[in-house]
Amino acid sequence: MSVQITIVIPTYNEKDNVKVLVEKLSSTLAGCSWEAIFVDDDSPDGTAEVVRDIARKDARVRCLQRIGRKGLSSACIEGMLSCSSDYMAVMDADMQHDEAILPKMLETLKGNSDLDIVIGSRYVEGGGVGQWPAIRKLISSIATKIGQAVLRADLKDPMSGFFMLRQSFFRQTVRKLNGKGFKILFDLFASSSTKVNFQEVPYDFRQRNAGESKLDFRVTFDYGIMVLDKIIGRYISIRFLLFFINSILVLLLHYFLLMLAAIFLRQTFVFTQLLVSLVVLMVFFMFNKTRSVKNDGVYKFAWEAVSFSSFGCIGVVINVSIAYCLFDFGLTGMLSGLIGGSIGALWNYIAIKQVFRK
């Protein structure tokens, strides 16, 4: 019997949720043929192995393990790319999304051939966000309002991570997706070249079962970039704009530190330029790191820090050598330092980003 519905579940450190979720899917989807694809980004807690253990006994379950990669949206996209059923759903592994509405979502999508997508919604009559702290409620409602305004769709929950879509709709949109961050539903709406036909089904957002949320500042930042891309992306490349802003900020920081060093340190030119370049490199790393000690453990974080810094040091050597030549040639310390700093910034941005942003 062919598979009717595939459930794509992105996971990162969810080992204690996998078994419970498969059991819940088994009972709620008992009436149809289904499969579940867990897309795991090499979780340090061994989630992939837990999924494979279940998969050995249950052919409906599969593990797509990505190594050296991270990102909820790209995990969902690759999970969906790996399946061929007519309908696909995306849901979290932590039980916050109520699996009991999956049959209704499927029925709705099957019953109306005009529909592209059915969304599990917290903000339509009958839905809710449960016990969220006031601050998370506020952030979510601001992000939701921005999403609605930018998409110009009467979509009550554009931030939802729980939805079901038609394979054909996904295939026609997939090449245009941004694929960054957490907000895959917003991405699908923003990237579709035709008006998206959707329907929302209410559900109550539950408390996380086990483990911790991976929501952090980076998620908000990536969402902001995606919104910006939707608004002005057709006039100017957001990648270029980011590169430009990033370079200006790096140079301002370099300039400011050179000034401080000139006033307080009064060391040789090469020493000052080297010190300032290393500090700028560290700040650049903190803003661009993809790993954190909390989510990824000390080993993965330290590995990224060490490899990032070693690679960045090549840029520092080039930067300081050029700056010293210019200084020796007769340029002022500030100007030589800034030209060296610009070359360092270019190295950091182009070379390091190519290596670390997979």
Ligand X SMILES: Nc1nc2c(ncn2[C@@H]2O[C@H](COP(=O)(O)OP(=O)(O)O)[C@@H](O)[C@H]2O)c(=O)[nH]1
Q: Which amino acid is at 302?
A: A
At 146, give phi and psi (nearest 5°): -60, -45
The answer to whether residue 14 forms part of the interface with ligand X (CB under 6 A) is yes
Structure tokens at 190: 């923003």
| Residue whose C-beta lies closest to ligand X | 213
DSSP three-state, residue 235: coil
Contact 23, 99 (CB under 8 A): no
Contact 216, 231 (CB under 8 A): no
- The set of long-range contacts for 307-311, using a CB threshold of 8 Å and a minimum separation of 24, is 307/356, 308/352, 308/356, 309/281, 309/282, 309/285, 311/351, 311/352, 311/355
Q: Give the nearer residue to ligand X in terms of CB position, either 181 or 340.
A: 181
- The set of long-range contacts for 247-253, using a CB threshold of 8 Å and a minimum separation of 24, is 247/342, 247/345, 247/346, 247/349, 250/280, 250/284, 250/341, 250/345, 250/348, 251/338, 251/341, 251/342, 251/345, 253/280, 253/283
For residue 46, the minimal CB distance to ligand X (Å) is: 13
Name which of ligand X, Mg ion, none residue 12 binds, using a CB cut-off of 5 to 8 Å depending on partner kind: ligand X
Question: DSSP for 142-178?
Answer: HHHHHHHHHHTS--S-TT-S-EEEEHHHHHHHGGG--
Q: Give the nearer residue to ligand X in terms of CB position, either 9 or 29.
A: 9
Please report, as residue ranges, which positions from 265 to 284 form the binding site for ligand X (by CB under 6 A).
none
Q: Give the nearer residue to ligand X in terms of CB position, either 12 or 349.
A: 12
For residue 40, the minimal CB distance to ligand X (Å) is: 6
Nearest to 104 by CA among 205, 2, 199, 33: 199
Q: Give the nearer residue to ligand X in terms of CB position, either 215 or 335.
A: 215
For residue 171, the minimal CB distance to ligand X (Å) is: 21
Handedness of CA 49, 52, 56, 58 (dihedral sign): positive
Write down how long the chain is.
358
The answer to whether residue 213 forms part of the interface with ligand X (CB under 6 A) is yes
Please report, as residue ranges, which positions from 199 to 238 form the binding site for Mg ion (by CB under 5 A).
none
Please report, as residue ranges, which positions from 120 to 149 form the binding site for ligand X (by CB under 6 A).
none
The single residue among 5, 6, 7, 12 that binds ligand X, judged by CB under 6 A, is 12
Terminal-to-terminal C-alpha distance of the chain = 37
Number of residues that bind ligand X (CB under 6 A): 18
Contact 255, 339 (CB under 8 A): no
The single residue among 142, 215, 270, 314 that binds ligand X, judged by CB under 6 A, is 215
Please report, as residue ranges, which positions from 96 to 125 form the binding site for Mg ion (by CB under 5 A).
96
Binding pattern for the stretch 72-101 against Mg ion, x by CB under 5 A and - elsewhere = --------------------x-x-x-----
The answer to whether residue 296 forms part of the interface with ligand X (CB under 6 A) is no
DSSP three-state, residue 80: helix
Structure tokens at 312: 């960045």
Q: Give the nearer residue to Mg ion in terms of CB position, either 9 or 50.
A: 9
Binding pattern for the stretch 90-119 against ligand X, x by CB under 6 A and - elsewhere = --xxx-x-----------------------
Binding pattern for the stretch 216-255 against ligand X, x by CB under 6 A and - elsewhere = ----------------------------------------
Q: Give the interface segment with ligand X, choosing from 9-17, 173-181, 274-282, 306-314 (CB under 6 A).
A: 9-17
Structure tokens at 323: 């700056």
How many helices (DSSP H) and strands (DSSP E) are in the chain? 13, 7
Structure tokens at 304: 């990224």
Please report, as residue ranges, which positions from 26 to 85 form the binding site for ligand X (by CB under 6 A).
39-41, 70-72, 75
For residue 123, the minimal CB distance to ligand X (Å) is: 15
Name which of Mg ion, ligand X, none residue 257 binds, using a CB cut-off of 5 to 8 Å depending on partner kind: none
| Interacting residues with ligand X (CB under 6 A) | 10-12, 14, 39-41, 70-72, 75, 92-94, 96, 213-215
| Interacting residues with Mg ion (CB under 5 A) | 92, 94, 96
